[in-house]
Amino acid sequence: MPLVPLLPLFHRFNREYFNGALAIGSQPLLSVRWSDGRLRKTAGFYRRGLRVDGRNSCEIVLSRPLLELLPQTATESTLCHEMIHAWIDLVLQVKESHGPNFHARMAAINAAQNQFQVSVRHQFPVPQTPPRWWAVCPRCGLRSPYQRRVHRAACRQCCDRHYGGSWHASCVFVYESALPEA
């Protein structure tokens, strides 16, 4: 399926699911674009950073290689997923990934329409590579595969169970190499 222009979709979703909060008039608070072809392991991402000139830069990037072969609903659900991240960051000004604000907005969007489903994890066909690391929770022993070590990443189940959903140092993953010994 040919790639659809993202900006019209962004503006439609912004009106329908975010009360227009992600734009000032017709000017989005962030850029929205297709990847240049290198994004092959994830369907999309939202990021906020600094430009070379020191100004803030926010963008949503969707994977051209993954989504161009799938139905438009895959693009719509991925864009909406990333817009939730942008809304949490730019509007709510909360630091969270897939926490309670994300789940609440995702549920509201899914209840408001039936063309596509926003989810935390997609089920798109992505080439699998074996993990380079095992992240092990020191509290419960849960082992999760990772491609790279993530500084201060913690076990969600233990943080939810023992600390009311707040991050805690006792739940920070310990990394073990998953690569075969030479």
Catalytic residues: 82
Distance, in Å, from the CA atom of 2 to the CA atom of 95, rounded to the nearest integer, reads: 35
What dihedral do alpha carbons 119, 18, 32, 64 form, nearest 10°? Answer: 20
User: In 3-state terms, what secondary structure has residue 62?
Assistant: strand
Q: Which residues of 41-61 are buried (b: 16+ CB within 10 A; e: fewer)?
A: eebbbbeeeeeeeeeeebbbb
Please name the residues in contact with 65: beta carbons below 8 A apart, sequence gap of 6 or more: 35, 37, 39, 40
Question: DSSP character for 154?
Answer: B
Distance, in Å, from the CA atom of 20 to the CA atom of 1, rounded to the nearest integer, reads: 29
